Structure 1
Amino acid sequence: MTTTLVCSGGLDSVSLAHALAGQGRLSRIVSFDYGQRHRKELDFAASCARRLDVPFHLVDLSGLGAALSGSALTDDLAVPDGHYAEETMRVTVVPNRNAIMLSVAFGIAAAQGDAAVAAAVHGGDHFIYPDCRPAFTDAFAAMQDAALDGYARIALHVPFVHATKADIVTAGARAGTPFAQTWSCYKGGLHHCGRCGTCVERREAFDLAGVADPTDYEDPDFWRRAVAAHAAGGA
């Protein structure tokens, strides 16, 4: 089943790229410039496509970020530190982002004759991001069936939608993912900050999976305090 993959350059989508490539299913990688606060992640997505020898489509939606205001990922707002599941992380929501990107990816897949579109949404995203939840992916797949009825039949492949981040690290390691060639941090500095929610989640996932984390963090120990604080708050 030839598959178009939506890839941010992060740990989740690059791990899925390597898993699909290992199965002989990856046909292309699609990434999006939506006016996000840094483009560093897109370099990692392009590098992944070169490494796996598949076409790379960078879709320019840069003008969209100004309209999707109010997010720390598109506006000049501070990215909060702390655990990913904290209420403060809601400032990183970009409204309808996955729906927009998946719609474009399905159009590309239909035009190129692919049989599926893959996305690496996962269970850890459910708390904050409504367009990463199973209810959304199920509804979106049904909508695309209607949108392409009589033209193409394209499946939505979301193998991590019920998985944890640690599960993804395990799957990525099994697929030979070069984790050092992925980018998660929302702040886009020289190294991962180690303090924002996605850095904390990344570091915790490697620990839970029992896989060595090759990532350079500016603050490599903050994640323990953040996880402890979140656990204490939920007690």
Structure 2
Amino acid sequence: MKDSVIIVSGGMDSITMLYEYKDRIKLGVSFDYGSNHNAREIPFAQLHCERLGIRHIVLNPGFMRSYFKSSLLEGAAAIPEGNYDEDNMKSTVVPFRNGIMLSIAVGIAESHHLKYVMMANHGGDHTIYPDCRPEFVRAMSAAATAGTFAGIELWAPYTGIAKADIARHGKVLGIDYAETWSCYKGGKHHCGKCGTCLERKEALKDAEIEDRTVYDG
């Protein structure tokens, strides 16, 4: 039964979730909110949704780029290089980004008579991004349920696992991760040096998946 909306970025995590739960997903929603890498990742979201026969829509909350403060919205040069940890990656936080996207997706879900909104946060996000943590997921799900006639729920099945575990799911599903995007700099190729690139490399290595990503460094 197709009862879910998924927020799908075009990255490894949401594309894996898209394939793993394709029989439950009615609609994929991407947000072009002005980040450095939206133009690189959203086409992959569209590609995979089309491949699976899932309707895909792109929404443009452009006010986020105009009024929010984050290196993710300030160009490639602002993105820190080095390990994916709190001290290095905190500047990439877009304040309450997931809260905003989920609120919109909840409205879409109720409008389309769907029960769940899916997000692909994972355990490695918890220390850096407040709106990826388990307590946030629980609170947003409770708010969605209380604030809709249909009792919409937030469904985040990767909350407690690592990115390498997600990659292992994808390996079983036969996903080609070269058809996904991670790099926060948003250049022609993955930079190979920012935290998301390093996390991508490590996850694929740990899952024993050949990394066919093209890196500049």
**Which interval holds the TM-score relative to the shorter structure?**
over 0.9
How far the C-alpha of 1:52 sits from its partner, in A, is 1.1
Structure 2 partner of 1:193:
191
Equivalent position amino acid for 2:93 in 1:
V
Misfit runs of 4+, over 6 Å: none
- For 2:88 and 2:205, the matched residues in 1 are separated by 24
Structure 1 partner of 2:33:
34
Structure 2 partner of 1:13:
14
Check whether the contact 2:142–2:153 (CA below 8 A) recurs between aligned residues.
no
- For 1:68 and 1:121, the matched residues in 2 are separated by 21
1:41 partner SS: helix
2:167 partner SS: helix
Structure 2 partner of 1:79:
79
CA-based RMSD: 1.2
Structure 2 partner of 1:230:
none
Q: How do residues 1-150 of structure 1 correspond to structure 2 at under 5 angstroms?
A: 1=1, 2-21=3-22, 24-38=23-37, 39-69=39-69, 71-76=70-75, 78-148=78-148
Check whether the contact 2:72–2:78 (CA below 8 A) recurs between aligned residues.
no
- For 1:126 and 1:139, the matched residues in 2 are separated by 15
Structure 2 partner of 1:203:
201
- For 1:173 and 1:115, the matched residues in 2 are separated by 29
1:181 lines up with 2:217 in the alignment:
no
Max Rg structure: 1
TM-score by length of 1: 0.88
TM-score by length of 2: 0.95
Check whether the contact 1:18–1:176 (CA below 8 A) recurs between aligned residues.
no
Equivalent position amino acid for 1:15 in 2:
T
1:169 partner SS: helix
How many residues are treated as equivalent by the alignment? 214
Residue-by-residue CA offset, 1:145-197 (whole Å, 9 max, x unaligned): 1111xx11222111110100000000112222221110000111111111000
How far the C-alpha of 1:86 sits from its partner, in A, is 4.4
- For 2:56 and 2:86, the matched residues in 1 are separated by 34
Where do 5+ consecutive residues of structure 1 fail to align?
Answer: 220-235
- For 1:7 and 1:200, the matched residues in 2 are separated by 21
- For 1:192 and 1:30, the matched residues in 2 are separated by 23
Where do 5+ consecutive residues of structure 2 fail to align?
Answer: none
- For 1:126 and 1:64, the matched residues in 2 are separated by 22
Identity %: 44
